[in-house]
Amino acid sequence: MMNNATVATVLVLLYAGLGFATNQRKRAKLPRVGRAGPFGYAWTVLRSVLDSDGLVEEGWAKYGGKPFVLPSMSGEWIVLGPDDIEQLRRSDDTVFNAPERAKALFLPNTMFGNHLTDHPYHLETIIRSDLTKSLHSLVPEMHEEAQLAIPDHIPIISGQTSATIPLFSTMVHLIARVSNRAMIGAPGCRDEKFLQYQVSVAEEVIPMSQILNWFPAALRPVVWKLFCVTLGAKDRAVKLIGPYVKARIDYAQQDNPSTIVDLLLRYAPEEEIKNLPMLAARVVHLNMAATHTSGIFTTHALFELARLPPEQVEMVRTEIAAAIASEGGVLNKTAVGKFYLLDSLLKEIGRFHSLFAVGSSRVTLKEAVISDGTVLPPGSVVALAPKPMHNNPKTYSDPETFDPFRFTKLRTGAGTAADIQQSFTTLSNDYIVFGIGKHGCPGRFFAALKIKVVLAELLLNYDFSFPEGASHAPKPFSFNIFTVPNPTAKLVFTKRQRF
């Protein structure tokens, strides 16, 4: 008798073998990474579930940064190299299309409803301009929330000076609370039950979107519904956030918005304002984009700070304290703008730890020719590989070394265009953590401020160290194309006197 694992493996191999057979007809003529032949293809697909990073590294080394195919459970990716990035950056969605690809990869229509993608006003109007303009007023609020939330998340027992906590989950929850101070305001941002579900949404939706991709399109809504009624957090999060969103509608302070939902209400169509679950689903979806990515950065940053020589940590801390003092003791947006060392450290986190095996994915709507002359048929999926691009010795000296101040060293200090180029949130063809071109992450300014506010508050109040026996963070965990910090790893927070 075969056990469940064997049956599952056989099914996956059959599925992948079928994929290989059908893809033979549609595929562009490009080399493929992994083992040869149909069984090798199936094996490579299986490997991609937990080791896409390794496969990308292998393909990059073997084909010298030229395009190659990466098979995966959710279809084939054509991994493009540095020679194609400019073409992708300039693309206006007519040939290399981002929204269609995002729909196919993350299945927002199946999971959240068609209204998100049919009318993406949250993207066009809110994040791209209004939110960025509102950041001045949101920073002090987020700082206040961080001050209130940190002692809840790092509970130090009376009589003791330190606490050892699981870092990744704690940082994701802390970021969710601080983020929601900006998104829905207080008291909603302190509703622990809602925050728990909100955090779980991303933890379910991202892997589930990859798993749903394994099913035929017609079956996906059924499988998703079944999941939602049994385990899913999404419907619960939508229900729990509803009253807070409703409160913002009732408040209707649209001339003087104080939360991101207030900004959304300026553009929401009447039918969505009248349909609370629809509006609430949009907020939960936006929250999802705003939480885990920032939590990942904060976690990596703290692990790296725990490894740095104390004098380097002290340099970061001193600069933060001086910037706040220069603003009369207030942690506002101008003060955060002077955290150059922290900015460099975060940019180096993005370079060194790259969050995904492949990113900035696009689907071709028409035939397209790439740098090596290969013709891609419509429907081809292309993507960039952050890790090898960020490890390119032609772009970054000594790329294997984590150098927290790599980017401050490249600044002249005169605030020139070349200086701005070094900042964490500047998009460039050499630094693709926030993507490229017109679809480069529109939430990155908000994300960077939020992460810096949280890290500044932690740096000023705690010292960080590894639990006994550990000297660095354990290997991150990968699933499909995503990599997150190891969820079991802990960090020791020791209370320090503020100077």
Indicate which single residue of 73, 302, 313, 433 sits in contact with ligand HEM (rule: CB under 6 A).
433
Could you say whether residue 180 binds ligand HEM (CB under 6 A)? no
Could you say whether residue 436 binds ligand HEM (CB under 6 A)? yes
Indicate which single residue of 194, 244, 297, 303 sits in contact with ligand HEM (rule: CB under 6 A).
297
Indicate which single residue of 185, 359, 388, 485 sits in contact with ligand HEM (rule: CB under 6 A).
359
- Tell me phi and psi for residue 494, to 5 degrees: -110, 125
Residue 325-344 contact track with ligand HEM, rule CB under 6 A, x = bound: --------------------
Residues at the binding site for heme are 441
| Radius of gyration of the chain, Cα coordinates, nearest whole angstrom | 23
Which CB atom, from 85 or from 492, has the smaller least distance to ligand HEM? 85
Could you say whether residue 446 binds ligand HEM (CB under 6 A)? yes
Contact at 8 Å (CB) between 331 and 142?
Answer: no
Which CB atom, from 283 or from 370, has the smaller least distance to ligand HEM? 283
Contact at 8 Å (CB) between 435 and 427?
Answer: yes
Contact at 8 Å (CB) between 346 and 452?
Answer: yes
- Tell me phi and psi for residue 428, to 5 degrees: -155, 165
Q: Is 192 helix (H, G, I), strand (E, B) or coil?
A: helix
Indicate which single residue of 185, 442, 476, 485 sits in contact with ligand HEM (rule: CB under 6 A).
442
Could you say whether residue 435 binds ligand HEM (CB under 6 A)? yes
Stretch that binds ligand HEM, among 20-28, 32-40, 306-314, 442-450 (CB under 6 A): 442-450
Q: Is 9 helix (H, G, I), strand (E, B) or coil?
A: helix
Distances (CA, A) of 43 to 16, 72, 73, 111, 406: 8, 10, 11, 30, 39
Which CB atom, from 16 or from 105, has the smaller least distance to ligand HEM? 105
C-alpha torsion 260→119→73→352, nearest 10: -40
Could you say whether residue 249 binds ligand HEM (CB under 6 A)? no
Stretch that binds ligand HEM, among 56-64, 242-250, 431-439, 486-494 (CB under 6 A): 431-439
Indicate which single residue of 73, 95, 349, 441 sits in contact with ligand HEM (rule: CB under 6 A).
441
Residues at the binding site are 441
Indicate which single residue of 42, 78, 104, 127 sits in contact with ligand HEM (rule: CB under 6 A).
127
Could you say whether residue 424 binds ligand HEM (CB under 6 A)? no
Could you say whether residue 313 binds ligand HEM (CB under 6 A)? no
Shortest gap between Cβ of 124 and ligand HEM (angstroms)?
9
**With CB under 6 A, what is the number of residues at the site for ligand HEM?**
25
Could you say whether residue 201 binds ligand HEM (CB under 6 A)? no
Please give the Cα distance from 249 to 244 (Å, whole number): 9
Which CB atom, from 433 or from 473, has the smaller least distance to ligand HEM? 433
Which CB atom, from 32 or from 347, has the smaller least distance to ligand HEM? 347
Short-list 211, 279, 291, CA closest to 248: 279
Q: Is 332 helix (H, G, I), strand (E, B) or coil?
A: coil
Query: Could you please report the per-residue DSSP string of 391-448?
Result: T-TTTSSSTTS--TTHHHHT--SS--HHHHHTSTT--BTTB-TT--GGGS-TTHHHHH
- In 33-122, which residue ranges form alpha helices assigned H by DSSP? 37-63, 85-90, 98-106, 108-112, 115-118, 121
Short-list 204, 170, 283, 214, CA closest to 45: 214
Shortest gap between Cβ of 38 and ligand HEM (angstroms)?
32
Indicate which single residue of 44, 294, 425, 480 sits in contact with ligand HEM (rule: CB under 6 A).
294
Could you say whether residue 459 binds ligand HEM (CB under 6 A)? no
Stretch that binds ligand HEM, among 73-81, 234-242, 401-409, 435-443 (CB under 6 A): 435-443
Q: Spell out the residues 6+ positions from residue 40 whose beta carbon is closer than 8 angstroms to its own.
A: 34
Residue type for position 334: T
Indicate which single residue of 85, 289, 453, 456 sits in contact with ligand HEM (rule: CB under 6 A).
289
Shortest gap between Cβ of 35 and ligand HEM (angstroms)?
30
Please give the Cα distance from 417 to 438 (Å, whole number): 20
Please give the Cα distance from 299 to 304 (Å, whole number): 9
User: What residue ranges bind ligand HEM (CB under 6 A)?
Assistant: 98, 102, 123, 127, 286, 289-290, 293-294, 297, 355, 359-360, 433-436, 439-444, 446-447
